[in-house]
Amino acid sequence: MMAPWKGGGVMLPSGFKHWLLIQAAFLLVAAASAIPHTSAQGDHVAVLSIQGIINPVAASYVDRALGDAETDGATAAVIEMDTPGGLDSSMRDIIQRIIASKIPVIVYVYPQGARDGSAGVYITYAAHIAAMAPNTNIGSAHPVALGDNGSEQQLSSTMAEKITNDAVAYIRGLAQTRGRNADWAEKAVRESVNVTAQEALDLKVIDLVSDNLDSLLDQVDGREVQLSSGKVTVRTRGLPVERLGMDAVERLFHTIGDPTIAYILMSLGTLGLIFELTNPGAILPGVVGGICLVFALMGLGTLPLNIAGVLLIGFAFLLFVVDIFAPTHGILTGGGVISFTMGSLMLVNTRNAPFLAISTSAIVAVSLGLTLFFGFVVGAIVRSRRRRPVTGQEGMVGKVGKVKSALDPGGLVFVDGALWKAISESGSIAEGELVDVVSMRGLTLVVAPHLVQKQLRS
């Protein structure tokens, strides 16, 4: 039964209070994301940032930010990029938006140490101007085919060749449009080759190498580029810079697209639902668990999942639940931990996409946490089942009482704060003697002389 919560002169259930708090949090996030976009009007340079996996959230962000830059009168947009790659559909959405842009788009692989892999290579080739910072690299653009369930497909040699040829034709077309090295682009797709920033410049894969953003804006100033609307001259030197980052909602959904984050959310969400199932009425764990699970499914939905890993994790949580309701002294929990760990290692197919791998330390930490949690729960259940009952008829057996009226064989005894009818099967017992309750017959106690007294008399 839920405890009432007093607030504002009315009595509200504690679960309703939790619901209100969660709703308030979501309203705050929604309000933050709904704040009108304010930016500098007039000549300026808009700077976007793509960090991490290229997914639908990243594509939506680029579309919105470029639209804002065009509306606010930016003379050019710079996309700072550090990505291991991502989804083909999201990559194509970004490329189409760049091609349709009303202002020059400069893709800048930055900061130093950044990489521009897989889908990022195509986006760089689509840019009106392509630049890289020193100590960065570009390449490894071989396509990976995913099935309807997100798992990597094992294609026939003919189908794999068709997909590769399509990717080659696509990137060669971008290279020819922007006047870049089409032969190297084909090698990046077919052979997954990689080159450094300086090598990319020498091979005419990119247009320039620049140490930082200020240097980049000076170097590209005055260049002529071809937009969909015609040729324009880039004007960037000395102009103010406005950074157009992701808003709160975009950051949230882009974050949960990270394999490790999605994996942790999935684990927390499932734990919350299990806690709610085993403690009906708790409400908050169920609500939070449900939200975490929805976010996890959204993130995992963009990843190349291995169906065997999904089934092993699902089977693990089934074992955990069964062991709670029908304890097997930890046998099912042990099997669940093994199944969960194996499923976690197999969850994302990373053979051709190692950047999608779930952090090993996260897998170890979550598996250890599950072991400790369910080990504690199962241990508590086992201990409770071994404990002698303390209520009902079973709870009266073994208690010590005092005779209030002589038992011969029936009489009255005072036990546990109450007066009971009792009978003695061990002969008469005088008033004032202590007795042990040995059993019950309905509401009548069956007693015997107290063991301590018998030992003293002997």
The residues annotated with a catalytic role in the active site are: 118, 162
Q: What single DSSP character describes residue 203?
A: T
Residues 6+ apart with CB under 8 A from 327: 378, 381, 382, 385
d(C-alpha 165, C-alpha 186), whole Å: 9
Q: Alpha carbon 122 to chain centroid distance? A: 28
Please say whether the beta carbons of 102 and 70 come within 8 A: yes
Q: Is the dihedral of CA 406, 412, 413, 417 positive or negative?
A: negative
d(CA 233, CA 426): 112
Whole-angstrom distance, CA of residue 419 vs CA of residue 89 = 80
Question: Which residue, among 303, 309, 277, 305, has the nearest Cα to 290 in the 3D structure?
Answer: 277
b (16+ CB within 10 A) / e for 137-175:
bbbbbbbbbbeeebbbbeeeeeeeeebbeebbebbbebb
Q: Is 376 helix (H, G, I), strand (E, B) or coil?
A: helix
Q: Nearest-CA neighbor of 315 among 291, 293, 333?
A: 333
Strands 434-441 and 444-449: antiparallel
- Exposed (0-12), middle (13-18) or buried (19+): which is 376, by Cβ within 10 Å? exposed
Token look-up 């202590």 returns: 434
